Every structure is written in C-alpha cells, then in structure tokens.
Amino acid sequence: MNKNEILTKLPYQKPFLFVDELLHIDESGITGTYTFDKNLNFYSGHFKGHPVTPGVILTECMAQIGVVCLGIFLLNNELNTNIAIALTSNEIEFLKPVYPNEKVTVVSEKIYFRFGKLKCRVVMRDEAGDDVCKGTIAGLITNNK
C-alpha cells in the first residue's frame, strides 16, 4: 500500500483532516506533515487576539498521522473503506505552542500492534526541528460492520 492509498482510506475530511503528506512509512513507524491553516475556525476563540492551536487538536493531528495512518498501513488489505477507529489512551506532554500557518512534522514509532490495538511513541516537531509535544497514543482500528 502506498502513501496516497493510505490517505484515501482516512475516515476524515476537512476541516477535521489533519494530514497533508506522508513522508515515510514502514512496519515500525511513520512520518507525516500538516500545516495549521490560519483560517481554521478554532483560532477565532483560542485565544482572543493571540491564536494558538489547542492541545486537543495537536493530539488529534498526532493520532491521525501516528496511529491511524500507520494502522491502515499495517492492516493493509484487511480494511475496507468503512473503518471504525477508537482512541483508547494517550499521554501527551506539551512543550511549545503551535501558531496559525505553522507546519509540523509528526514522527511515530510503533511500540506494539496486537489484538487490533496499536500503541505508538509519537513526537510533533516544528519547522526548526524542535519538539512541540510528545508522548504515547494508542487506538483500535477495525472494519466497521
């Protein structure tokens, strides 16, 4: 399965799609990017006059690239187009703010994948290569019946 096929299987669409490009993927991990468009709706209220990307959105971006895209790759042809996804746990440390129009890179390393559960060590970096946030995220990915 190639990178573009993975993107077409994602069960998200704008404005809740937080994956622009997949740079690398193999059995042990994935790297992808996303640019936070200044016109995303949440910036108008978070925070007044000084927009910052909410931590929950950073976590979602990390989960979409680092767990969902990797899970689709690992399951390959076992998945149909009707995917069921459930976040089961996360522990994220936030280190730096992400502002509108910033491009981030998410790097995920598989910790384990068994019984349908994928757990990964995930880090988000800014364009300077500095860690923005990091931690672990786990989820379940299956065919929706």
- 10-residue mean pLDDT profile of the chain (145 residues): values are 89 94 97 97 92 97 97 79 82 98 98 93 98 97 73
Question: What is the reported pLDDT for 90?
Answer: 94
Q: Across the chain, what does the average pLDDT equal?
A: 93
Enter the CATH code of domain 3-143: 3.10.129.10
Alpha carbon distance 131, 122 (integer Å):
10
Task: Give burial (CB, 10 Å; 0-12/13-18/19+) of 30.
Answer: buried
Sign of the CA dihedral running 39, 45, 51, 53: negative
Identity at 44, one-letter amino acid code: S
Inter-residue contact 90 to 59 (CB < 8 Å): yes
pLDDT at residue 67, as a whole number:
97
Determine which one of 46, 117, 121, 134 is catalytic. 46
Residue 35 belongs to what H/E stretch? strand 29-35
Ranges of each domain in the chain: 3-143
46 labelled catalytic: yes
